[in-house]
A and B are shown apart, each in its own frame.
Chain A
C-alpha cells in the first residue's frame, strides 16, 4: 500500500498495464513501466510525471471504463502529478498552495499589481504616473532601474531556489538506478524530447482531447506558449546586456532585438494560453483531474496576463497610459515569478527531470 489513494490506484493500473503492454509504443511511460515489476511511491510519481496526457492510451485501451478493470491512466496520472507537486514542494509549509491554486494565484497577482500601482503613486506624483514619457530611461522615471532589477532578481532567485529544492526531493525519490548524476547525454536527450514534446503525439497519430479522434492541437499551443515564454525571457536578458554592458537604456525602438524578441514572445504568450485554455475547457472530463481546474487555468491566465500587459505596454508606451500599464505588467511578471514554484509551472520542471531519468534508464538498459 502507498501513502495515498491515488498512488494505490496508480499501482493497480501499472500492474494491469504491465501484464498487457499493448501501449508500449505510444510513449515513454510504458517502456519505463516495463523496466519494473513492482512500484514504489517514487516510481509511480516518476511515471506520472513522465506522462504527457496525450490521451492515446485511454482511447486505445480495451479495459478503459466502462470495462470493469476501469483503466484510466491519463486521469489517474494527472491527479498523481498534481499531488506529487505538493508532496515535493519547498518549503513544505506552502504545499497547500497547490490545493486552491487558482485562488492563491489570483490573490498574489491582484496584490502585486495593486502594490506596483500604489507604489508608483506613492513614490511619484500623479503628473509622473500619468505623464507622457519618451526616450531612453522613460520607464525608470516611474521606478529606478536598480530598484526594479533588485526586486525582480530577488523574486526570480527565490523561485529558482524553491524549484531546485523541490525537484531535488523529487529526483531523490525517483532514485537514479546507476547511483550517479545525470550525465550529459541523458540531459541532451531530455532537452530534445521536451523541446519537441516528443511524447505529446499519441504515438505518432496525434493526441486526444475532446473525443476519440486524434485532432488535438495542444502541442501547437504549448509550443507557442513555451517558446513565447523563452523569447520573452531572452528579450529581458538581451535588454539587461544592453543596459549593463553598453549602457543603453530601455525603451528600445520597435526594430531592436529586445523588442522584436519580446513582441514575438508576447504574441506566443497571448495565443498559446488562449488555445490551451480552449482545449482545457473542451477536454473530455474522463481524462481530466477535475479538482485542479484552478491550477491549470491559473498558470495559463498568468502567462496570458504577462503577454497581454507587455504587448499593451509596447503599444501605448508613448501615451499617458504607460505608467499604469507598466505597473500592471511588472505586477503580472512579479506574481508569475513568485508563484512559479507553487503552480502549474512546475510541471515542466518535473517532467523534464522525469525525461532525464528516462533517458538514463534507456542508456543503462542498452549498455
Chain B
C-alpha cells in the first residue's frame, strides 16, 4: 500500500516546517515525517533562541541596522573564507524578508534576552524560545492542512538517476510502509548524536563529547543521500562546538549547560596547564572556539578557574561552581595536581599587568611573559574562595552535508542538479559554514533554505 503526496518533508525542525508551510502555501499536498516523538519534535530548533537576519534599519526589537555587507563580513571572518559566496550572499539577501515572513507564520519576536545584549542589534529573539517558535510553526502548518507524522523513522530512500521516488518508513504501530512523493525535502539535521559516526573522524575522543541537542540527529538521512549519489559538502570534523559543563547530561542539555565565564578567569587542562589565550576577543565572538580547544586537550576535559571577585560578572549557572578556600583545596576537588595548579596560577598572577578592566571592550588588562598570554581582561586570581567549572566539548551541530544550489536543490556527484530533491537546514549548513560559527546562523540557514526548498519543491510537483 502506498500513498502519494506532492511534497514529502523529512525532518521536523525549523527548516522542515518552513519548507512544509512554504510548499503548502505554494499549493502542494505536504506530509512531514518527524522521526522523534511529539515532545521531542523539532530537533535542535527546540534549543535555539534567535536568528541572525540582515536589516537596513532598527526595528521594534532590533537596536540598529545590520546590513547585508556587514553580515557577509561577519560570515567571512568566522569561516575564514570557507563558504560558498554565491549561496551565502543569496541567503543573506533572503534573510531580510525572513524577518517578516516568519512572523506571518505565527512566530513572535522579542528583544534580546537578559545577558545577551551584545546580540541586540544583529539577532532577533523568539518570544518564549525555540520551542515556542516551533509550536507556532506546527500550529500554522496544521491549520494550512500540512499532515505531520511523529515517530516516523525513514529506513530507506528509493532514488534513481538523481530522482527521488519513495521513502520507506517504519512506524511504531502501522509497521513498514512505502511513501511516494513528487518532490522531497530533506531537513533531517546532522549526525552529531551518532557517536559511532563521530568516532570515524575523532577517534575515541568522541566518547568524551557531550551532545547539546536532540539525541535524534543520528544523520541517517544524510548517510543515505550521500550513499545514493548526492554530492558531499563540508569537512566531517567541523561542527559548532562550545565548552559546556562537564556535569551536563550526555544529550539534550541545551543552552543552560553553557559557560560564559572564560574571559573572567583562566582555563587549564587536566595537567593544570593553560593552553589558549582566554582574552583573545570579545565574548561571544570567540565563544564558539572553546569546544574545539577543549576537544584537543587530553581526555577532552578542561577547567575554568576564577575567584570570588567575578562570581556575579556572568549569568548564573545551572551547576554551581566547585569551590576551595585555597588553590590546593580546589585542585584536590578537581583531582588536579595541587602543586601544578598553584604554580600555574602564581605564574599567571605574576604576569598580570596593571590596567583598567572593562569586559565590554578589548581592554588593556593583559599578561606579559607567559605562554600562552592572556591578552585582555587579565586580572589576578587571588581572592578565595577559588572556583572552577569543569568543561567538555559540547557539540551543537555538524557541518558535513549535501551540496545544494541557490534553489536548495541537491547536486549529484556527477555535478547535475537533482530533479526533485531539496535540502534545508543543518543537513546542508556546510554549504555556508565551512567552519566557525556566529550566533543565530543555524536558524537563518534553516528558515531561508527551508522556505526556498518548499517553494521549489511545490513548483516542481505542480509542473
Contacts and interface: CB of A to CB of B under 8 A. Distances in A.
Interface string A208-249: 000011000000000000000000000000000000000000
A19 B108 contact: no
B113 A24 contact: yes
B260 to A, nearest CB: 10
A37 B255 contact: no
A19 B256 contact: yes
B255 A22 contact: yes
B249 interface: yes
Interface string B86-124: 000000000000000000000010100111000000000
A17 to B, nearest CB: 9
Nearest to A67: B252
A60 B129 contact: yes
A21 B113 contact: yes
A61 interface: yes
B256 A26 contact: no
Contacts of B136: 205
A198 to B, nearest CB: 15
A63 B131 CA distance: 10
Given A60-B129, A62-B130, A37 B312 contact: yes
B46 A21 contact: no
A74 B127 CA distance: 18
Contacts of A25: 110, 125, 127-128
Interface string B279-311: 000000000000000000000000000000000
A22 B128 CA distance: 5
Contacts of B240: none
A68 interface: yes
Interface in B239-283: 249, 252, 254-256
Contact of A23 (B115, B129, B139): B129
B362 interface: no
Contacts of B39: 66-67
Contacts of A15: 316, 318
B374 interface: no
A26 B127 contact: yes
A24 B114 contact: yes
A137 interface: no
B128 A62 contact: no
Interface residues of A, number: 30
A164 interface: no
A34 B108 contact: no
A18 interface: yes
Contacts of B131: 59-62
A93 interface: no
Contacts of B435: none
Interface in A54-95: 56-57, 59-63, 66-69
Nearest to A14: B316
Given A25-B128, A26-B128, A60-B129, A20 B312 contact: no
A204 interface: yes
A106 B318 CA distance: 45
A16 interface: yes
B129 A19 contact: no
B130 A22 contact: yes
Nearest to B133: A60
Given A59-B135, A68-B249, A204 B127 contact: yes
B315 interface: yes
A214 B125 CA distance: 20
B376 interface: no
Interface in B302-332: 312, 315-318
Contact of A203 (B46, B127, B254): B127
Interface in A92-119: none
A36 to B, nearest CB: 9
Contact of B316 (A19, A24, A26, A213): A19
B316 A62 contact: no
A19 B315 contact: yes
Contacts of B351: none
A203 B318 contact: no
A204 B132 CA distance: 12
Contact of A18 (B125, B128, B135, B316): B316
B49 interface: yes
Interface in B120-177: 125-132, 135-136, 139
B161 to A, nearest CB: 41
B135 A22 contact: no
Interface string A287-318: 00000000000000000000000000000000
Nearest to A208: B135
B55 interface: no
Contacts of A16: 256, 318
23 contacts: A16-B318, A18-B315, A19-B256, A21-B113, A21-B315, A22-B113, A22-B132, A23-B129, A25-B127, A31-B114, A37-B312, A59-B131, A59-B135, A60-B129, A60-B132, A62-B46, A62-B130, A63-B256, A67-B252, A203-B127, A205-B108, A212-B135, A213-B139
Given A60-B128, A204-B108, 4 more contacts: A23-B128, A26-B128, A62-B131, A68-B249
- 6 A-B pairs with the lowest CB-CB distances in the bound complex, closest first: A22-B129, A60-B132, A60-B128, A25-B110, A19-B256, A62-B46
